[in-house]
Structure 1
Amino acid sequence: MKYIKQIGYLYTPILIVMILFGSCADSFLEQPTIGALPEEQVATQTGVEALLIGAYAALDGQGNTTGGEALGGGNPWEAAPDNWIYGTVVGGIASKGSFGGDQPAIDPIAKFTTDPSNGFFNTKWRATYEGIKRSNNTIFYCNEAEDISDTDKAKIIAEARFLRGHYYFELKKMFNMVPWIDETTEDPKQPNDQDIWPMIEADFMFAYQNLPATQGDFARANKWAAAAYLGKTYLYQHKFTEAKDIFTDVINMGVNSAGEKYDLVANFKDNFDAATENNAETVFDIQMVANDGTGTIANSNQGGKLNFPYNSPFRCCGFLQPTQELVNSYKTEATTGLPDLNNYNQNPVKNDMGISADASFTPYTGSLDPRVDWTVGRRGVPFHDWGYHPGAAWVRDQAYGGPYAPKKNIYWQATQDKYADQSSWAPGTAINVHIIRFADVLLMAAEAEAQAGSLPVAMEYVNRVRRRAANPDGFLKDYVDPSDPLAGFDESTNAANYNISEYTTAQFGSKEDALKAIYFERKLELAMEGHRFFDLVRWGIAEQTLNAYFAYQGSITTDVRGGKFIPGRSEYYPIPQAQIDLSVDESGQPTLTQNPGY
């Protein structure tokens, strides 16, 4: 079999995948790869559809895995699609977790002391360019096929360009200057000397103009997912007017791939439960599935397999521990129900640092945003239906990573047989990875409106998110019987002193004040979802925010001591040295240029 068109610095053959459609499947993406097509069949409707499915399959960052290794030879978490390392840990939302000797290559990434030889960057680069290669192959052979109608060609190419736009967006926000390689590129050794934002825009615009509003498979991107991603692309470039206009259309007219109008679901937690996902809030998710018959967790968010409480029913591994700085952010003022945007680290939320699991502990009784307990596992508060979080018994090294555990990625005990996968040494889960959900759209739109001077509209979008958070039906409740976690919740008793209210014009009186509130709301609503570092960079506040974080969090845990954000360098990750070495041309010179400061 010949190599398919060689795209990207990967130098590996690509197999054209066929996907087995099962009668019980919710999504065509939830099925395993089972074989390959001979190349003479590629430029056909059947072959091109298989290529497109392969391009979707690369969304999880894993590709075809062997022995649990991610595409490109690294570990699966190095290319995790939720960017838990590159967006959440580096953004100060979570500590790496576990203990210092476990996955030590993450520590210098989190502290901005890393160098281009760190293999994590190479794994992420290769996995993302694999997605680009598959997207390009889909476009190329779709154009070559003679048995595909013009209408179907436009739709297939639009889906492939949406996916390519996503992959390039990932690379752009991480590495900034990356080589643009498309279906017409003959030599993959292209320089990284041009800004690729215009090409990303063009891909999402084409997808927006050519995709249908609804799809037969929920996992496929639709017209409105492309519109939302185009708006996000505008926002990252500070094209606020363009972003505002398209977000307005998404909010007013957008529907998910099943045709359901975008809206916030009634309960915040339903976005993080496999039983209630793929809902009105879903703009674009990476679909995950458990127990798919492969005997692996490759389709069960393998990139997040480390991120469960240590020494717990989940077995492994104690990574991705929310920070004290994040937990303090959920404090609200008792009289107003609003966050303290400036002094939230004063009078911190009580934790159980240094307190053994068999010693008594009373959780914090102050006023809190209810989203804290769907985001952070903390001592003395129900951990879904697994009972009360026991504190130090589920933490590998409190002094290193702090006392907390992640929660948005945790499956429920009552449904674990269906939505958890125990086929590996650490769990897999059917909880989807959110790329864009409607709350994210509302907050991006609020940002664009505030930048354009439309403060009342911006405030309403933020308050819409806060109103959902204030729905008492969605508050975490205490158990009827603490000794029986499956006895159900006592709907009359909240697990904490929850108090959250909407903003008024007093807090949105100027663009500066409005943006401060919007930025903070993104932190609260989207915590642990991989956005934070990239938000801080595009807002231009990464230096002061992260250096203040290092000073505060470093006084509590040892993991981030010595961290320092260096302006002009730390905004972007280094181009992997392995890729620079591979890019050497016939003259002996590399075609890739390293980012400043590395």
Structure 2
Amino acid sequence: MKKYIYQLLMIAVLMSIAPGCKKSRLDLVDQSAYAYETYFNNITALNQATIASYATLLHPGLWAREYYYIFDLMGHDAKRASFLLGAEQELGDYSFGTNNANLSSLWGSLYRMIFRTNLVIDRAAAWNPTATVDRAKLNQYLAEVKFLRAYAYFHLVVLWGDVPLYTDYQTTLNNNYLPRTAAADVWKQIEKDLTEAQATAELPVVYPAAELGRATKGAVTALLGKVYLYQKKWAAAQTELEKLMGAPYTYKLDPSYDNVFSTTNQNTPENIFQIMNQQWTDWAIGSPYYMFGNGAEQVGKQTHSGRAMEYGFNDNWKNVYISNAAVKAFTYTHPATGLPYTDPRAKSTFYGTVATGGETVFCQQCPTGPKAYPFDAADPQGDYRWKKYEYYHLVEKYGDPKSPINGQVIRLADVMLMLAEAQIQQNNTGNAPLALIDSVRSRSGAFLYTSLGDKTNAMNILMRERQLELCGEQSRYFDLLRWGIIKQTINAEKAAEPGTGTQPFQDKHLLFPIPDAEKNYNPNVAKAVKNGWN
């Protein structure tokens, strides 16, 4: 009875509070709740927010699934098989419109990454840790999210041009209708983020094993060099990329080209930034959007994609072939003999015939021994299948879409070729770029050049090197676009493709269309769109 009397007295006291008392005095906030104002006030919470920013790399449009389709198909490294339908088919034949699901997902996930990184930056500014170790970790996390924000805006500005520039979390919350910012200013923000991240003393050059997969100072430097290269700031690009060739960095080409795309590539010395498989799963950031937007529980929230199964052939999904143009590129004229030469990287890139240089057997480590690749000579579209990023040397067939292979975002061979390009573009075709190109070639056993010739010839060699070395790594679309040769290249290759004979690339395709979802949401973006496209 006393308990109830006490409760009644408390109610009476509360009811008697003067009307002038502020309501906020009665609003008790649970300090342990997941609230914006109270949660991100310790280093553990800010680490969680940083890891959540990495997690967006696995969301729709990015590395969970669509990223490799978008850029392998549009760069014509890959071509559709009869099983590929819908939004992916539209990418391969350039018939997509403003409602293409893959491109819309790419846009949305890039901005989701930006939103999350802005949150980390905002909350870090509001918290002033007193412990030295916390301050050091906080600075590291800030550098990491600036790298990720730069990565997101790099894609947005290259692919869409003028885009809304959100750099402040509060602006994101209170004004979701920012107009498009000029591309030049977006590039400036990218450079700012990367130079600030690079200057952060607490950002490691290497991480302990438990933290592999986080952005390093080398990853920041590589992306900054790439950003300068894309803007034709050749000298600045050279300066940044050269930093990666020596101390404090210890990058080197993996002795085995195949290992870079295998189940054991997590610790390859060539890796600069990867989409990690097991490591990110251990961080508990496996994508809830895996593959088709569901089914994460079926695949253990794998942090890489189903690329192996989707690009696979033996009782797998067979969604794409390697394009005939890509296959043919591996055979070119040997400058010393004037005869056709087949590059040894062909055998690491695709399954094919002896004449094309492709791998002719698979399941080399299976208990029952190697098997002949099952060609279908009746297929008019060609029968060359992907070997890169596959693991048919270990298993005969997969059974589910898990991929245990990390995705390469930036690796040393790519950096070396970008550095050679920056040098060539400054009219240096001598020993420096020659050594870089030959180093990449020698790893796979390809012949070595003795001279690059003049600038035009040197660039032709460089372009082919990037096509062969990075085939199937979502690089060629970006390369053709920035070199200004994408329209004539894609149309010529498509016209020669068996069963195609079309020239689908139009001038409007130089930029992706602004997604319908964005136009319907943001009136300031919608009114700036021209011709219903971009």
Q: What CA deviation, in whole Å up to 9, does each residue of 1:4-53 have, x standing for no partner?
A: xxxxxxxxxxxxxxxxxxxxxxxxxxxxxxx9945422232111111001
1:578 counterpart (514, 517, 521): 517
The 3-state SS of whatever aligns with 2:331 is coil
- Distance change in 2, residues 1:297/1:306 (3 Å): farther
Q: Does 1:198 align with 2:188?
A: yes
Q: Does 1:527 align with 2:471?
A: yes
| Correspondence for 1:383 | 362
Contact persistence 2:312–2:390 (CA under 8 A): no
Q: What CA deviation, in whole Å up to 9, does each residue of 1:497-554 have, x standing for no partner?
A: xxx311122xx2211110110011000000000010110010011122111101111x
CA RMSD of aligned residues (A): 2.9
Alignment of 1:110-189 (within 5 A): 110-147=92-129, 149-184=134-169, 185=171, 186-189=174-177
Q: Distance in 2 between matches of 1:144 and 1:190?
A: 24
Q: Does 1:268 align with 2:204?
A: no
CA drift of 1:106 comes to 2.4
AA matched with 1:399? P
AA matched with 1:447? E
| Correspondence for 2:23 | none
| Correspondence for 2:499 | 557
Alignment of 1:202-241 (within 5 A): 202-210=192-200, 211-216=203-208, 217-241=211-235
1:517 counterpart (461, 480, 489): 461
| Correspondence for 1:540 | 484
Q: Distance in 2 between matches of 1:262 and 1:281?
A: 6
Q: Distance in 1 between matches of 2:187 and 2:406?
A: 27
Q: Distance in 1 between matches of 2:419 and 2:257?
A: 19
2:379 counterpart (398, 408, 411): 398
Q: Does 1:299 align with 2:302?
A: yes
Q: Distance in 2 between matches of 1:58 and 1:338?
A: 49
The 3-state SS of whatever aligns with 2:526 is coil
Q: Distance in 2 between matches of 1:179 and 1:573?
A: 15
Q: Distance in 2 between matches of 1:266 and 1:127?
A: 35
- Distance change in 2, residues 1:44/1:335 (3 Å): closer
Q: Distance in 1 between matches of 2:513 and 2:480?
A: 18
Q: Distance in 2 between matches of 1:591 and 1:389?
A: 57
AA matched with 2:269? A
| Correspondence for 1:285 | 274
Q: Distance in 2 between matches of 1:36 and 1:381?
A: 58
CA drift of 1:254 comes to 5.3
- Distance change in 2, residues 1:78/1:328 (3 Å): same
Q: What CA deviation, in whole Å up to 9, does each residue of 1:184-214 have, x standing for no partner?
A: 4241211123211111111111111112222
Q: Distance in 2 between matches of 1:439 and 1:249?
A: 14
Contact persistence 1:162–1:207 (CA under 8 A): yes
Alignment of 1:75-90 (within 5 A): 80=64, 83-90=67-74
Contact persistence 1:574–1:594 (CA under 8 A): no
The 3-state SS of whatever aligns with 2:435 is helix
1:442 counterpart (416, 421, 427): 416
AA matched with 1:582? Y
Q: Distance in 2 between matches of 1:370 and 1:413?
A: 18
Is the helix fraction higher in 1 or 2? 2
| Correspondence for 2:287 | none
| Structure 2 unaligned residues grouped into runs of 5+ | 1-31, 285-296, 354-358
| Correspondence for 1:495 | none
| Correspondence for 2:293 | none
1:44 counterpart (29, 42, 45): 42
CA drift of 1:451 comes to 0.5
Contact persistence 1:168–1:200 (CA under 8 A): yes
Q: What CA deviation, in whole Å up to 9, does each residue of 1:142-185 have, x standing for no partner?
A: 11123364433322111110111111112222222221112342
Contact persistence 1:191–1:591 (CA under 8 A): no
AA matched with 2:195? M
CA drift of 1:582 comes to 0.9
| Correspondence for 2:347 | 373
CA drift of 1:595 comes to 7.7
2:236 counterpart (221, 235, 242): 242
The 3-state SS of whatever aligns with 1:562 is coil
CA drift of 1:113 comes to 2.8
Contact persistence 1:547–1:565 (CA under 8 A): yes
Contact persistence 1:58–1:131 (CA under 8 A): yes
AA matched with 2:247? M
- Distance change in 2, residues 1:297/1:405 (3 Å): farther
Q: Distance in 2 between matches of 1:375 and 1:237?
A: 30
The 3-state SS of whatever aligns with 2:80 is strand
- Distance change in 2, residues 1:121/1:276 (3 Å): closer
Alignment of 1:333-352 (within 5 A): 333=333, 336=336
| Correspondence for 2:325 | 325
CA drift of 1:88 comes to 1.5
2:447 counterpart (459, 481, 501): 501
TM-score by length of 2: 0.80
Which has the higher mean CA deviation after the structures are superposed, 209-218 or 155-164? 209-218
Q: Distance in 2 between matches of 1:213 and 1:38?
A: 33
Contact persistence 2:222–2:241 (CA under 8 A): yes
AA matched with 2:513? P
Q: Does 1:458 align with 2:437?
A: no
Q: Identity across aligned pairs (percent)?
A: 26
The 3-state SS of whatever aligns with 2:347 is helix
AA matched with 2:517? A
CA drift of 1:597 comes to 5.4
AA matched with 1:245? T
- Distance change in 2, residues 1:138/1:262 (3 Å): same
- Distance change in 2, residues 1:305/1:330 (3 Å): closer
| Correspondence for 1:253 | 247
| Correspondence for 2:25 | none
Contact persistence 2:147–2:193 (CA under 8 A): yes
Contact persistence 2:265–2:405 (CA under 8 A): no
- Distance change in 2, residues 1:84/1:414 (3 Å): closer
| Structure 1 unaligned residues grouped into runs of 5+ | 1-34, 63-69, 71-76, 256-260, 341-366, 471-499
The 3-state SS of whatever aligns with 1:570 is helix
The 3-state SS of whatever aligns with 2:467 is helix
Matched residues, number: 466
Q: Distance in 1 between matches of 2:531 and 2:386?
A: 33
Q: What CA deviation, in whole Å up to 9, does each residue of 1:543-581 have, x standing for no partner?
A: 22111101111xx134xx4342223x1112111011111
CA drift of 1:78 comes to 7.1
CA drift of 1:408 comes to 1.5
The 3-state SS of whatever aligns with 1:252 is coil
The 3-state SS of whatever aligns with 2:195 is helix
TM-score by length of 1: 0.72
